[in-house]
Chain A
């Protein structure tokens, strides 16, 4: 099946710093990638839809200036959490959609902001 990678898998940072998370589709081209956030014991919440070559579409309540998304190529999307605070600590997961519209998820990135 399709493989999606994420880097880094874990990151610990100080409050106020910015963190960049990469999402790559390894064996297919993904015109659309999605970014989710999952708090402990909760469901996945869609943050934004990332389309190659265009601006991301953010879900209601998600600050676009805080969560910067760049989809520079058909295999790479990045999420930058700017000026991170402890409440941003979460499990961030990306997914990429194949041509048959199945979404494949990356392994996720655990962010801990101290």
Chain B
């Protein structure tokens, strides 16, 4: 079946630095969603991308869907301590398959 890998698995950044996580699929995706899970919490929906080459922004977060719809990225500009957590990409219509996640820690 379809598999989605995320890189990096872990990322430690100094507060104020940028952060990017990448999601790569072996097959073409119809859509992709991004979720954030704080330590000890549950996944919170961030965004869904559907169109090839789509770029969406939410304040300091920029989401991109690749032209071939096989990869996606989440970029955070000037990280803050509130950005700590694990970021998951997922895909699917009826049911979601989650990527392996990228755990972000911030050094104050």
Contacts and interface: CB of A to CB of B under 8 A. Distances in A.
Nearest to A32: B94
A41 B45 CA distance: 19
B42 A108 contact: yes
Given A49-B94, A101-B93, A102-B48, A43 B99 contact: yes
A67 interface: no
Interface string A6-49: 00000000000000000000000000101000000101111001
Contact of A46 (B41, B45, B48, B97): B97
Contact of A103 (B45, B99, B101, B103): B45
Which range contains the number of B residues in contact with the other chain? 10 to 19
Given A43-B88, A43-B101, A34 B95 contact: yes
Which range contains the number of A residues in contact with the other chain? 10 to 19
A106 B42 contact: yes
Given A43-B101, A44-B88, A102-B48, A107 B41 contact: yes
Interface of A: 1, 32, 34, 41, 43-46, 49, 93, 95, 101-108
**The 10 A-B residue pairs with the shortest CB-CB distance in the complex, in nearest-first order:** A105-B42, A44-B98, A43-B98, A108-B42, A105-B43, A107-B42, A43-B101, A43-B100, A93-B42, A49-B95
